[in-house]
């Protein structure tokens, strides 16, 4: 069962609003951090230190959220992108982590692939976001297969994992900002992924596999292709 999810308007609104918001949050956050660093440097009482360290940890978390939003607002380069190399690079980046979790991470490409109309940095971010989700859903053991193939005026990259699949009722919310089913999740990975792909004129679709597992399929335009 395919669910093609194109929620373009909602996502563009997120871009403009959250980038501005992130800037506004970043400044007071910097001030809070430096005052906190000062307090930590003079505080000897263990209980109070623990409290301050706890604040520091949570501030770091907000800081990471803000950084994610800002870096996304900045980047927007066009292609062409060598999909094969970019995917191999990204998979190479994650393979130590996969090995540690005993997850078999494989990549196959069928036929010669055209260059894609997306920047390498952005495809890398897309692949990272999807692969990280796949690894997090699997936990330990299992496998992730990445497959790339060319289609009429572009190419398709499929990410298959052997995790439990998308939680059914949440499928419609996958791309919503801040939607997460994880205790430590940001809920921004899929939102940003969707936004990047849509900006590149591509599409993203998700489906669950039988008996279990998830597939995320990304369709990109070939560099030089004319229609959307």
What 8-state DSSP symbol labels residue 212? S
Question: Binding to ligand ADP by residue 68, rule CB under 6 A?
Answer: no
The residue among 87 and 131 lying less far from Mg ion, judged by its C-beta, is 131
Taking the least distance from each CB to Mg ion, the nearer of 125 and 133 is 133
Q: Kindly indicate which of the ranges 37-45, 104-112, 156-164, 189-197 contains the residues binding Mg ion, using the contact rule CB under 5 A.
A: 189-197
> Rule CB under 6 A: is residue 134 a binding residue for ligand ADP?
yes
Q: Retrieve residue 54's tokens.
A: 């706890």
Cβ neighbours around 179 below 10 Å, total: 16
Considering the complex, state which of residue 179 and residue 225 has its C-beta at the smaller distance from ligand ADP: 179
- Rounded CA separation 90/200 (Å): 19
| Alpha carbons 113 and 226: distance in angstroms, whole number | 17
> In this chain, which residue has its C-beta nearest to Mg ion?
189
23, 29, 30, 34 alpha-carbon torsion, rounded to 10°: 180
How far apart are CB 78 and ligand ADP at their closest, in Å? 25
CB of 146 to ligand ADP, least distance (A): 12
Token pair listed for 161: 């994992």
The footprint of Mg ion on residues 125-164 (CB under 5 A) is 133
Q: Does 193 bind Mg ion (CB under 5 A)?
A: no
Minimal distance in Å, beta carbon 188 to ligand ADP? 6
Alpha carbons 150 and 216: distance in angstroms, whole number:
16
Distance CA 144, CA 163 (A): 9
Binding interface with Mg ion (CB under 5 A): 133, 189
């Amino acid at each position: 069962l395919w669910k093609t999810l194109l929620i373009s308007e909602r996502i563009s609104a997120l871009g403009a609003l959250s980038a501005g918001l992130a800037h506004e949050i970043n400044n007071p956050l910097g001030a809070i951090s430096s005052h906190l660093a000062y307090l930590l440097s003079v505080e000897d009482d263990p209980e109070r230190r623990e409290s301050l360290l706890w604040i520091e940890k949570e501030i770091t978390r907000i800081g990471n959220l803000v950084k994610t939003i800002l870096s996304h607002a900045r980047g927007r380069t066009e292609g062409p992108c060598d999909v094969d190399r970019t995917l191999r690079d990204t998979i190479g980046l994650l393979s130590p982590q996969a090995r540690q979790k005993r997850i078999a991470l494989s990549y196959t490409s069928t036929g010669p692939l055209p260059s894609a109309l997306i920047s390498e940095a952005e495809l890398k971010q897309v692949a990272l976001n999807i692969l990280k989700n796949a690894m997090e859903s699997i936990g330990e053991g299992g496998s992730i297969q990445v497959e790339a193939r060319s289609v009429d005026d572009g190419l398709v990259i499929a990410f298959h994992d052997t995790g439990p699949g998308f939680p059914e009722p949440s499928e419609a919310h996958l791309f919503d900002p801040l939607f997460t089913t994880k205790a430590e999740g940001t809920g921004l990975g899929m939102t940003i992924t969707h936004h990047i792909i849509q900006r590149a004129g591509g599409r993203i679709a998700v489906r669950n596999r039988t008996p279990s597992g998830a597939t995320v399929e990304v369709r990109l335009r070939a560099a030089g292709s004319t229609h959307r």
